[in-house]
Structure 1
Amino acid sequence: MSVRIDIAGLRPERVVVVPSPLAELGMALHALSEPGHHPGLRGWTADVTARLDAHLADRMCEADFLWRTTFSDLFMPFAGLPGAVPGATLAADLDLLDKLADEDFVDAALEFTCMLTYDTQAPDILSDDVVRRRALEAAASRGPRQVRFTQRLLDDPPSVRAWLRRFLEDCDEAFFAETWDRMRHQLTADARHKGELLRHKGLAEALAAVSPAVTLDESAARITVDKLTEGRTVTAGGLLLIPTNLGRPHLSVLHRYGWQPALHYPVASPEPASPPSVEQLTLRMTALSHPVRMRICRHLARSTYTTSELAQVHGLTAPEVSRHLGVLKKAGLVTTRRRGRYVLHQLDVAVVARLGGDLLEGLLR
């Protein structure tokens, strides 16, 4: 599974690497709503939550579906405006949000909660009665608060725009301005570094520095982002690379129909090893789902064993053990080494120890 971005005809100058204060504020709200997604931010989320004004906290709950699931494309409005790039300030980004057409604003606001189409052209939600009714029905399954917000959004988009802008400005005053002031220099430096790679070594090198999960097939003119989702889009004239400090472990790909695609990537990965691909994760989970292989792993976690020894311990034939070991090796869970005429197998305990974290990162990527 992956998200593919077709870049045929993309001019190098239309690949832009730049931080966005509005996108980072979206990730701040997401981290505050889902602190379990961001264990590295426990101190920050606890501090902000402890000093948050009760009225602002209530307002934060009013539309938290815009950022709780991940965060809405409304936090990257520049992607919906031809040729636009993120602003240098939150006010500049909010001005771009004001320039979105009402249809785009409403569709982006409902993208997660009402399960409308995303990477294909859809009917105008503000004028199509069938689509409006479907949006309200989907909202009903998420409770009365979602229904009220959706109805208000469909009936009066400008009032919701005004409410959202005031709310984001109040968040900026309450906690985000201080946070952004601390982190913007790191994000700017990272964007500058990626831009230098882009100019001097090309797009493939820049994307490799963004994340091992992002690859470029130059012959096919396609970028592939390894994720537990399927999607496809074209560059629509530009490609945006947006660094985030608060976003780890999320690697977000905006691939909305008709918008510029955007990669919202975490900077300064603390992990020494590259995260496994979705295919590798699937292989590992499948390999460990078999009870015999689990029992084999129990022995291999304690010591090295030959195939014959494992067969004797488990009451299996050597070919049966070899087949199970082959599955574990293909998944990268077992290593082998030769000692004389014997081949010894051992569990890679470091890989197994990372499995829970790797799985969670894959699910949240």
Structure 2
Amino acid sequence: MPLALHLGTDDLTRCRFAISPLCQTHEALRMLRRPRRHGYHRSWLRRVRRTVDGLDLALLWLFVAPPGGYTPDFLGAPPEVPYPAFDDELARMRATDPALAHAEMTRSLACTPGLIDSPRGRAALDDPAATVRRLADLTERAWHALLAPDWPRHRAVLEADIAQRSRRAADGGLDALLTGLHPTVDWADRTLTLRRYADVADAQRPDGRGVLLMPSVFVWPDVVSGFARPWQPTVIYPARGMGRLHTAPEPRPPQALGRLLGHQRAAVLAGLTAPSSTTELARRHGLALSSVSAHLSVLRETGLLESRRQGHYVLYARTALGDALVEGDAGPGTA
């Protein structure tokens, strides 16, 4: 039986989005445990493989389970605010109640026969507070080595997904939002059904707190739902546009688009498969910064691009109109 989340009236008014750098870190590590599911991220994996091998993440690997297992929820607890900073999430992880950590780690280790009674398993459970501190230290190391350098672009992709889905909700209501999360997620009769997920006896059900929706760059091709209390029910799904984040080469603009906008301007628009800065676009297309800035200004004024500041950078992304112009009749996809 698939996992079915029945949403009451209170749940429907409390559905929300969030972006979690802590969750993204653990999803990236989980993806490394799925050798046949790397898909869109092969170039990123080739780039970070040597870094991963030098991090000594043995304790994290003990709990970052492959599909079908259980990863302790405190490793990536649903954020309480829409856009938490990594340091704030890490501090929350460090403050995990040792009793809760012990219960969740026990459940995770029990997924692998013999692991809970192994020396490694017993050592982790004997002092759960110390284990939480060590897991937090390793998570911080993984974050800085694997995700922090690329985080502005990753966050921009996730924010663009939320913006696009929010526009769908504004145009068509909650039905339009929940019917387009993922091909394996169904929405009917106030029930969100995850068809790839097995129903389990202790699956957490919505109880008026709503459902947290979190786009992810690394969760593809799966959809993940959080189970255990006290966390808010959560659905983590592949972000729209995530498949183009690490791919190359740059797409060529349609010839008709080049005639309409000019070759350089059309190339800049077509090349924005993921949010990018002026400097990055200039390097990618071999253009002067002033030329790229001029093209971006025109494209934004005509409604084909939108911009958002991320720290010291301004990142540009195509609007729905820009996507339609570049892709023709191609509809939005999850990747």
- State the TM-score, normalized to the length of structure 1: 0.58
Aligned CA RMSD, in angstroms, stands at: 2.7
SS of residue in 2 equivalent to 1:10: helix
8 Å CA contact retained: 1:204, 1:215: no
- The aligned residue for residue 44 of structure 1 is 44
Q: Distance in 2 between matches of 1:178 and 1:270?
A: 17
- 142, 166, 172: which is aligned to 2:115? 142
The alpha-carbon distance between structure 1 residues 182 and 35, as it changes in their structure 2 partners (threshold 3 A), is farther
TM-superposed deviation, 1:22: 0.9
Corresponding residue number in structure 2 for 1:25: 25
Q: Which runs of 5+ in 1 are unaligned?
A: 116-137, 272-365
State the Cα distance separating 1:156 from its structure 2 match: 1.4
For 1:86 and 1:104, how far apart are their aligned partners in 2? 24
How far off is 1:249 after superposition?
0.6
- Given the alignment of the two structures, is residue 240 of structure 1 paired with residue 216 of structure 2, yes or no? no
Name the SS of the counterpart of 2:222 in structure 1: coil
Find the residue that maps to 1:256 and give its secondary structure.
Answer: coil
Q: Match of 2:269? A: none
Aligned counterparts of 1:250 and 1:151: Cα–Cα separation in 2: 31
Which of 220, 227, 230 aligns to 2:196? It is: 227
Provide the rounded CA distance (Å) in 2 between the counterparts of 1:224 and 1:77.
22
Q: What do residues 51-93 of structure 1 show as CA deviations (whole Å, max 9, x unaligned)?
A: 4463x1x2x12331322414542333137xxxx2465221122
Q: Within 2, Cα distance between the matches of 1:158 and 1:203? A: 41
Aligned to 2:97: 101
- Aligned pairs for 1:188-203 (under 5 A) are 188-203=159-174
Matched, 1:163 2:134: yes
Quick one: which amino acid aligns to residue 90 of structure 1?
F
Distance 1:87 1:105, change over 3 A: farther
Q: CA offset at residue 253 of structure 1?
A: 1.2
Question: Does structure 2 conserve the Cα–Cα contact (< 8 Å) formed by 1:198 and 1:205?
Answer: yes
Identity %, equivalent residues: 21
For residues 270 and 188 of structure 1, the distance between their equivalents in structure 2, rounded to whole angstroms, comes to 11
Looking at structure 2, the residues matched to 42 and 167 of structure 1 have their Cα atoms a distance apart, in angstroms, of 23
User: 4+ residue stretches of structure 1 with deviation over 4 A?
Assistant: none
Matched length: 237
Q: Which amino acid aligns with 1:18?
A: A
TM-score if structure 2 supplies the norm length?
A: 0.63
1:259 aligns with 2:235: no
Conserved 8 A contact 2:105-2:125: no
Code of the aligned partner of 1:230: D
Are 2:154 and 2:217, in contact at CA under 8 Å, matched by a contact in 1? yes
Q: 1:195 to 1:106 in 2, by over 3 A?
A: farther
- 1:269–1:173 Cα change, 3 Å: closer
* The structure with more radius of gyration: 1
Cα distance, 1:258–1:62 mapped onto 2, change above 3 Å: closer
Q: Residue 169 of structure 1: CA displacement?
A: 1.1
